[in-house]
Amino acid sequence: MLEQRILIVEDESAIREMLHIPFHKAGFILEEAADISEARVKIFNQMPSLILLDWMLPNISGIEFAHELKRNAQTKEIPIIMLTAKGEETDKVRGLEVGADDYVTKPFSPRELVARIKAVLRRTVTHSHTEKLEIRDLSLDLSEHRVTISDTEVAMGPTEFRLLQFFMSHPEKVYSREQVLNHVWGGNVYIEERTVDVHIRRLRKALATYGYDHLIQTVRGVGYRLSAKE
C-alpha cells in the first residue's frame, strides 16, 4: 500500500508537534508547513495524500487557500480537513462549501484526528491523484514524482521538477521571472530573479539529453514559456 503523506498547514508549532507520534503509529508520513507559502512549496515538491488546513493562518486564511487548491486542476483531488478553534456552524458551512472534505474543531485528540483522516482517505481513495501531465512524449507523473520521455526517466532536481510541472500545467503561456518565482517558489520568499534563469538552464540541460530542451523557450524582454509548437 502507498504511504499516506499528510501535510499539516498550521502556524502553531505545538499542534504540529503533538501529531508526530500518533501519525507515526498510524503509518502516516507527516509533512509540516507553518504558512501558505511553505505549504505551496511542499505541495509542489510532492503531492500529499491529504491536507490538514488550519482556518486561522497568517496572511492568507485557510479558507482562501482551500478555495485556491480546489480550483486548481492539479490539487483539486487532494482531500482537505479544516482545523479550527471557532467551531461555529457558519464556518463549518463555509468550509464545506469551498470543498473541504471534513472539519475538526480544536481542541481535538490526535486519536480522533487520525480516525477522521482514515475515514476521509477511505472515501476518496477511488479518485486518488494519478494525475499525469503530458506533452508529446514528455510525461510528468505527480503521484510518482517522476518525469519520463518515451518511458525513459529523466533525472532532475526538485526545483526543476516544480518548474516543469508549472510550465506543463500552463503550456504556451508566457510568464515573467517574477511570476515564475511567485508560482514555483511560493512568493513571499526573497529570491533574486536570476535564480529563475539558473534553474531554467538546469531544466533545459536535463531535457537536452533527449532533445526536448527547445520546449522551454525564452521570450525576449518578457520571460519564459513552454511551447510544443515548432
* Contact residues: Ca ion, CB under 5 A: 11, 54, 56
CB of 6 or CB of 8, closer to Ca ion: 8
Rounded distance between C-alpha atoms, residue 155 and residue 127, angstroms: 28
Report the nearest approach of Ca ion to the CB of residue 9 (Å): 9
Joined grid coordinates for residue 99: 470543498
Neighbours of 37 (CB within 10 A): 17
Q: Which residue is nearest to Ca ion (CB)?
A: 56
CB of 91 to Ca ion, least distance (A): 13
* Closer of 32 and 54 to Ca ion (Cβ): 54
Task: Using the minimum distance from each CB to Ca ion, give the nearer residue, 33 or 164.
Answer: 33
Separation between Cα atoms, residue 195 and residue 54, nearest integer Å: 31
What value, to the nearest 5°, has the Cα angle with vertex 44 and ends 222 and 115? 155
Sign, CA dihedral 177-179-182-185, equals negative
Q: Which is nearer to Ca ion, 54 or 101 (CB)?
A: 54
d(CA 230, CA 100): 42
Set of cell numbers at residue 42: 511542499
CB of 162 to Ca ion, least distance (A): 26
CA distance 205 to 83: 43
Which strands make up the sheet holding 146-149, listed edge to edge?
132-135, 138-141, 146-149, 152-153
As measured in angstroms, the least distance from the Cβ of 63 to Ca ion is 12
Whichever of 95 and 223 has its CB closer to Ca ion, that residue is 95
Query: Whole-number minimum distance, CB 56 to Ca ion, in Å?
Result: 4
